[in-house]
Amino acid sequence: MAFTVAVDGPAAAGKGTVARAVAEHFGLAHLDTGALYRAVGLKVLEGADPVDAARSLTPADLERSDLRTPEAADAASKVATIPEVRAALRDFQRAFARRAGGAVLDGRDIGTVICPDAEVKLFIIASDEVRAERRWKELRERGINVTLADVLAELRERDRRDTTRTDSPLRPAEDAIIIDTTHLTIDEAIARAVAEVEKRLPPEMRKQGKAQ
């Protein structure tokens, strides 16, 4: 049966970490929807038309090693303001969300636009400074040399673009559960998310879920 968990929130709040762990815990499929916009953004940096790029995305585009660079993030948030780009990516995301066996999708508009009927909606937040520090550490560990100040400025600019665009702006759905991870460890954030999903799990899926 279909069971959808929507995970939204601003940049580097911990959406991906929580979404992957929830998917693993309950045996659900996981889709990082930010990767779709990042892949389109990279193609545009290489000269492609944004709408053509979104319409012709392939699985290989989603496996590029440069997907998680600050350049890809910046380009992603620019193409993400174009309604035709968002429309081109919509059906794939919705089909993924309703797949048998259930799915977790993380992004910006999953609970509001892609899956307004999702069984569970989580909205992950953390202070700007904490988010910037986490992303800065992550980038440095991957050998990408950036200053903390640049990362903070980039996150704020992207959040501004994501919250003020007209098509599918970033905002919590009315029925979203807010999880503030500012003072939470990764394990604590995951435990909170798992507990929220557990409460809403249909009985027939409860049997499938791994024991806590």
Binding-site residue positions: 9-17
Kind of pairing between the strands at 103-107 and 120-125? unpaired
Nearer to ligand CDP, 9 or 50 (CB): 9
- For residue 149, count CB atoms less than 10 angstroms from its CB and return exposed for 0-12, middle for 13-18, buried for 19 or more: exposed
Closest CA to 165 of 70, 79, 88, 98: 79
111 binds ligand CDP (CB under 6 A): no
**Among the candidate windows 21-29, 44-52, 115-123, 184-192, which touches ligand CDP by CB under 6 A?**
184-192
Q: Does 15 bind ligand CDP (CB under 6 A)?
A: yes
**80 is an interface residue for ligand CDP by CB under 6 A:** yes
Nearest residue by C-beta to ligand CDP?
A: 34
Q: Decide: is 33 part of the binding site for ligand CDP (CB under 6 A).
A: yes
Strands 177-180 and 120-125: parallel
Should residue 77 be labelled a site residue for ligand CDP when binding is judged by CB under 6 A? yes
For 35: left if phi > 0, alpha if psi spans -120 to 50, otherwise beta; the answer is alpha
Instruction: Name residues whose C-beta falls within 8 Å of residue 63's C-beta, 6 or more positions apart in sequence.
Output: none
Q: Which is nearer to ligand CDP, 121 or 205 (CB)?
A: 121
* Contact stretch for ligand CDP (CB under 6 A) within 46-54, 94-102, 107-115, 191-199: 107-115
Assign residue 196 a region (left: φ > 0; alpha: ψ between -120 and 50; beta: otherwise): alpha
Q: Which residues bind ligand CDP (CB under 6 A)?
A: 9, 11-17, 33-34, 37-38, 73, 76-77, 80, 107-109, 134-135, 138, 158, 162, 181, 184-186, 189
